[in-house]
A = this chain, B = another copy of it.
Amino acid sequence: MRDLLLDAAESVAAKEGIGRLTFDAVAAEAGVSKGGLLHHFTNKDQLIEGMVRRTAEGWRKHFTESYDKAAPGPGRMVRGLLQGCFTDAEQWTEELRRSFSSVFAALAQNPALIEPMREAYNELYRLVEDDGLPDGLAEALTTAIDGMWFYWVLRLRPVDQRALDRMRTTLEGILERMADIAKEPSPGTTNP
């Protein structure tokens, strides 16, 4: 039931905008009364915290699975993300965009509520930093991947299959070349 109500909340936030994310609208969308909804989420902070937490868990699950699926070795997390997020534009669904509306709702309601999302990102970057690639390469590539994601979520840039293919190819090229270069010994690059 909780999940059903969170689905409804995401739908409302995505379709009508976070400004219209009200108990009335969510209850109507879920097909229950406002009282019924308020039994599960006592106030709006709780509702939005529930939304963010679920979104963060979904993201965590996604990048963890992507990591597990990728072949071991340097750049595993980055390769996993490229494979898991950048191969099929049909994955970038309204449903996915909707799931991120919780973060904006949190930002509007009470910025402290995005904490679960921040923790998910901390976890992602722990995997990224242990990626076995030179310097900040894995971080840079991951940040580019996420930049694309934010463009799409904020509707600032069009993201279609062509754009994803292009970006994936470019990032893979960078990964390959820069990882290779690092193998060539050069003076002054060893860490003390």
Q: 1/0 contact trace for A154-192 toward B, CB 8 Å?
A: 111100000000110111011001100100000000000
- Closest-CB distance, A165 to chain B (whole angstroms): 9
State A35–B58 Cα separation when bound (angstroms). Answer: 46
Name the B residues within 8 Å of A110 (CB-CB): 17, 19
Name the B residues within 8 Å of A174 (CB-CB): 137, 140, 174, 178
* Residue in contact with A104 in the complex, picked from B104, B144, B171, B181, CB distance below 8 Å: B104
Q: Is the interface of A mostly helix, strand, loop or mixed?
A: helix
Interface size class of A (residues with CB under 8 A): 35 or more
Q: Which of A23-31, A67-75, A87-95, A117-125 contacts B (4 or more CB under 8 A)?
A: A117-125
Name the B residues within 8 Å of A140 (CB-CB): 144, 167, 170-171, 174
Q: Is the C-beta of A111 less than 8 angstroms from some C-beta in chain B? A: yes
Closest to A115 in B: B155
> Is there contact, CB below 8 Å, between B19 and A154?
no
Q: 1/0 contact trace for A134-149 toward B, CB 8 Å?
A: 0111011111111110
Closest to A125 in B: B157
> Is there contact, CB below 8 Å, between A117 and B156?
yes
> Is there contact, CB below 8 Å, between B114 and A143?
no
State A18–B111 Cα separation when bound (angstroms). Answer: 10
Which residues on A are within 8 Å of B, measured CB to CB? 17-19, 103-104, 107-111, 114, 117-118, 121, 125, 135-137, 139-148, 150-151, 154-157, 166-167, 169-171, 173-174, 177-178, 181
5 interchain residue pairs of minimum CB distance = A147-B147, A143-B147, A144-B144, A136-B170, A150-B150
